[in-house]
Amino acid sequence: MRKIRVCAAALMLGAGAMLMSSCIGKFALFNKVLDWNRGVTNDKFINWLVFLCLNILPVYYIAFFADVILFNSLEFWTGENPMAGVDMNVKGEKGEYHVKSTDNGYRMEHLESGVVANLVFDAATQTWSIESNGESAQLVSFADGNANVYYNGSAMNVDMAKTASLMAAR
């Protein structure tokens, strides 16, 4: 009898460790619904009413369930969450921008002027570049544990291992 209790306790402890691990996913769909709800209007009372409606019509529950069962499971097994792309407006010092994920980077549009710039990652060369108005400029490239950061036509080499150890020391 004691042996069965010990086995059952070990089994429950092992199952708990697996279920409570940090591999729970981003909950990207749920968070997109929540972010949309927060920005529906500038009036917090109306946003609260929309929140209530989205809970009564089980939108939040469906988004959460889809994340738990489908999207977070896909993220666990493949390493990618199909709902985790970026699509948001960001306010900066020089105005508001719309930022959206693309297959190989990000598209950024200045909302007042309509100027578009693309941050593009080339996996073959491990390089991030910026493209706008038909022109392209390298920003950073990675090789052999180092990063080359480009600015005004010159490159600065950064040893990523030293940088990581400096950051860890803080």
pLDDT string in tens for the chain (170-residue length): 565 554 444 455 444 444 444 467 788 888 888 888 888 888 888 888 889 888 888 888 888 888 888 888 877 887 777 777 777 787 878 888 888 888 788 889 999 999 999 988 888 888 889 999 999 998 888 888 788 888 887 888 887 776 655 555 55
**Cβ pair 106, 100 in contact under 8 A:** yes
Find, among 100, 99, 98, the residue nearest to 111 by Cα. 98
| Same domain for 100 and 120 | yes
Question: What pLDDT does residue 2 have?
Answer: 60
| Same domain for 121 and 49 | no
| Same domain for 93 and 75 | no
| Same domain for 124 and 155 | yes
Give the Cα separation of 61 and 63 in Å (integer): 5
Structural domain containing residue 31: 24-85
| Same domain for 31 and 56 | yes
Give the Cα separation of 124 and 129 in Å (integer): 13
| Same domain for 143 and 103 | yes
Pick the last residue of a domain from 57, 85, 113: 85
Pick the last residue of a domain from 66, 85, 104: 85
In a domain? residue 104: yes
